Structure formats: C-alpha cells, structure tokens
Amino acid sequence: MRDSITKGLFVRLTNNGDKIIGSFVGEPYAREVHWTGKCYEECAGVGCSYCNEGKRPSLRVSMNFHVPAERALRVIEGGVMWFKDLLKVRDKYGLDKWTFEVERHGDAGDLRTYYTISPDRQLTADHLKEIEALRLHDLTKIYTGARTYE
C-alpha cells in the first residue's frame, strides 16, 4: 500500500486503481459543500456566497474506517454515488460484519471518477474485538475545524 493512501488521518485514493481494505465503523457524517478548485468549503445555506454565484452544493459523507493491515482508524469520505453504493452494501452484507475493498476508478482530476465498494471478507472475532475497543474519531469536530479531535 502506498503512503499516499495510508498516511495521515484521511484515506486518500488519488490515482486510478488505488484501493484500500477496511471496515466502516460508526455513523456517517454528511455535509453540503462547494468545491473551490482547491478544497471543499461548507455551504452556509441562506446567504451562501457560492450559492449566490449559482454554484450548487454537493453532498459529502464521511465515516470512520478501520484499516486492519495497519491496526489504525482513519476517516474515509465520498460523494453521493459513493454513499449510495455504501448503503447498498450495508443493506446486503451489513457494515458491522465485513471488511470491504474500496477502489478508485479514474485518474486524478477526472470528473468521471467513481469508486467501487466490494465485500472482502467476513470479520473474525479478533477483528471485532479490535474494532469494539477503538475510540472513534469525532467527525463533527474534524469538519467544523475544532482542533481537539484525536
């Protein structure tokens, strides 16, 4: 696994074919954002300067993601289609019973990039214990700019 995928708090799948295996943990955190060309900015709702310019916000959803190969908890984020796919695998397999492979399909900067989420293997009793012992990242604090998250 390349460092660009696993380094830091966030899972980063930046190139076509990048993939990671892990388990989705906890509840999703959804937010409406505008892409500035460099980063995502929260939509302020009524009076939002981006909305006033005619730019529609998009939905971004984040979840805690346990990476068993590293024994680490990361944050993974995706858009509407990614989240719809996540809901499909949740309904079919259950997120609390499996590890999943998340793979990027599309080069950096490609607006047609999409991600697949496929079941990898059922979680063992040891993996379940490891996940249960984790302290989840507070996604609200991470995205609202609070510096006290761990």
Q: Where are the domains of the chain?
A: 3-142
- Secondary structure of 21-52 as H, E, C letters: EEEEEEEEEEEEEEECCCCEEECCCCCCHHHH
Residue 92's pLDDT is: 96
Burial class of residue 135 in the structure, from the number of CB atoms within 10 Å of its CB (0-12 exposed, 13-18 middle, 19+ buried) = exposed
**Phi-psi label, residue 71: left if phi above 0, alpha if psi -120 to 50, beta otherwise:** left
Tokens of 38: 């460099």
Residue 148's pLDDT is: 43
Residue 7's pLDDT is: 66
pLDDT, tens digit, 9 for 90 and up, residues 28-48? 999 999 988 888 889 998 899
pLDDT, tens digit, 9 for 90 and up, residues 89-112? 999 999 999 999 999 999 988 889
Task: Let me know: does 60 contact 73? Beta carbons within 8 Å.
Answer: no
pLDDT, tens digit, 9 for 90 and up, residues 67-76? 999 989 999 9
Residue 35's pLDDT is: 86
Segment among 6-15, 53-62, 69-78, 104-113 with least mean pLDDT: 6-15
Tell me the C-alpha distance between 34 and 52, whole Å: 12
